[in-house]
Amino acid sequence: MKWLGILGLVALSECLVTIPLTRVKSMRENLREKDKLKDYLESHPYNLAYKSDDSADPDSATHFVPMRNYLDLAYVGIISIGTPPQEFKVIFDTGSSDLWVPSIYCSSPACATHNVFNPVRSSTCRVSDRSIHLQYGSGMMSGFLAYDTVRFGGLVDVAQAFGLSLQEPGRFMEYAVFDGILGLAYPSLSLRGTIPVFDNLWKQGLISQEVFAFYLNKKEEEGSVVMFGGVDHSYYNGDLNWAPVSKQLYWQLSMDSISMNGEVIACNGGCQAIIDTGTSLLIGPPDVILDIQKIIGANESHSGEYLIDCDASNTLSDIVFTINGIDYPVPASAYIQEGPDSTCFSSFDSLRGSLLTSDSWILGDVFLRLYFTVFDRANNRIGMAPAV
């Protein structure tokens, strides 16, 4: 699910230019349709069992922010904004570039169920009169721009531009397990005239290397982490394989092919792929995705999800994504996900409503749980290796 769009997607400003990657029905929506979403959220409260260590050694080469895994649908970490700090749960999203959180002035029902920022309570906050609008694949926010100190993983980012919401329409945002979004894509995707969080970390000399990396744990709620300024080699096996960024907007690269049992089933002759931590599924062109659903035996349900026999995870072959000459197998146990009532779903879905080219793919958390991923801004490349 482009579960958020989370993300993945966009950046704009007063001109309201939107670049939505996609709108994909998710297992979360399946829960909602079966009236089970609220029960799940109530049994999995927002409060994390741990917090990012703001007292960590400021001279440490690598800064870690733990993230909680919600049903393999979203990975949420804690940041704080302001003086004294006000805490928020955010998605660290490589598919967008802006930071925003709800404000105390927000009138939407979504803000009543999430942490909200109060500018008056922060001695370091500077509010601007600039209105903003951010549109994501599964939600949106309208609000205004402010500047304040942002803290996470022992890092203290001063005078950081961020959005404060006034409106977050729709039930999606109301039931989201996160308060806001912290974008990690390129500055060219950010609000005009602002500097994204990661660029400020580097500009202010807070990190020793211009890199960040993700380890996404499978199924377990704890253990996932995003790291800034360095790479912890204990999170992956073997060597990192690097691929150049093909377009400095999203974290985009050129993919050679997608194959199964040695036969190319998609991306024949090459295509583009976005590496997006804000998307939970594997997203591709509608006609190609339909062919893949047929190959793996998935059938569309009345809700629009593709159902598949759970036993197929033990019999179907790997689907191999080849990037820069390196094969990245995704086993059936990864591209088939178990939902409520022991129902299983295909982890493939169609790219819709996007300004990306028609042959583009989005490799979301289904892929990233298998491969530790390094985002190297200094060299504009992405490194991947099998996750431990």
Q: Which residues contact 18 (CB under 8 A, 6 or more apart)?
A: 10, 12, 135
Pairing of strands 63-70, 126-135: unpaired
Residue 378 amino acid letter: A
Catalytic residue among 72, 93, 256, 349: 93
Helix and strand element counts for the chain (H, E): 8, 25
The Cα 259–Cα 268 span in angstroms is 9
Catalytic residue among 157, 276, 359, 376: 276
Q: Are 104 and 118 in contact (CB under 8 A)?
A: yes
The answer to whether 232 is a known catalytic residue is no
Burial of 249 (0-12, 13-18, 19+ CB in 10 A): middle
* Structure-token pair, residue 35: 């009236």
- Helix (H) or strand (E) holding 258, with range, is strand 251-260
- Helix (H) or strand (E) holding 151, with range, is strand 140-152
The answer to whether 276 is a known catalytic residue is yes
Cα-based distances in Å from 258 to 28, 106, 263, 327: 27, 44, 8, 9
Annotated catalytic sites, by residue?
A: 93, 276
